[in-house]
Amino acid sequence: MRSDGLTLLLDCGSGVLSRLQGHIGLEELDAVVLSHYHWDHVADIGCLQYAARVQTELARRRRPLAVYGHAESARFDDMSYLTYCRAYPVDDANPLHLGKLRLTFSRNVHPDPCFSMRLENGERTLAYISDTGYCDALEETARDADLLLCEASLYDEYRGRIPGHLTAGEAGTIARRAGVGRLVLTHLPHFGRHRRLVEQARRRFEGPVELAGPGKHWEL
């Protein structure tokens, strides 16, 4: 995302860097914020770290790439890379300020420590709900957000079969109760007809609902 001259990446899973470079040069990236360290959210971090090294040595990057993530795992230390990438811890007790952005974090219901996040610039709010089972804290994270980017790993009929993940209907419920402006479903299942996720979310939420996808962008 971009806000007031700051360019920020939320999570860095497999294939992200090849897609990202279709929109910006990697030297433009100021920081990465990670929800957790499961591979589908961090698989491209190693490639990004090496890219930061190359850019620095070619004088295209003049300061280390900042990587923010929780420090409840030994993998936090891997987010730093020599002098090219520097890791900073985040938690649910302290807000993070990046430029004009204020980020707050809430703990998810997931097998490993994982956090959702709320990003505010004083005028607009983006909420990102990462891998989690349903809990009341998610509604507060998303409260009155202009856009809610929410995981929907499961069709409604699979509710409870995979611990630590939401159904599309649950994402819709969060959006309705939180009063968000728009719901975008992400972290989609690897089978079935994804349009059914939109249909299931719309049964709970009357606002705009769509699927995340390559090349899509939203202005807030």
Per-residue pLDDT of the chain (220 residues; tens, 9 = 90+): 999 999 999 999 999 999 999 999 999 999 999 999 999 999 999 999 999 999 999 999 999 999 999 999 999 999 999 999 999 999 999 999 999 999 999 999 999 999 999 999 999 999 999 999 999 999 999 999 999 999 999 999 999 999 999 999 999 999 999 999 999 999 999 999 999 999 999 999 999 999 999 989 999 8
| 141 and 191, same domain (yes or no) | yes
The reply to whether 6 and 96 lie within a common domain is no
Task: Give me the domain span that covers residue 202.
Answer: 92-213
Question: Looking at the chain, how many residues does it have?
Answer: 220
Q: Which of 24, 26, 8, 33 is nearest to 130 (CA)?
A: 33
Q: What's the predicted TM-score (pTM) here?
A: 0.96
Element (H, E) at 145: none
Output the CA torsion sign for 219, 19, 131, 164. positive
Report the distance separating Cα 205 and Cα 142, nearest Å: 14
Domain boundary among 90, 121, 152: 90
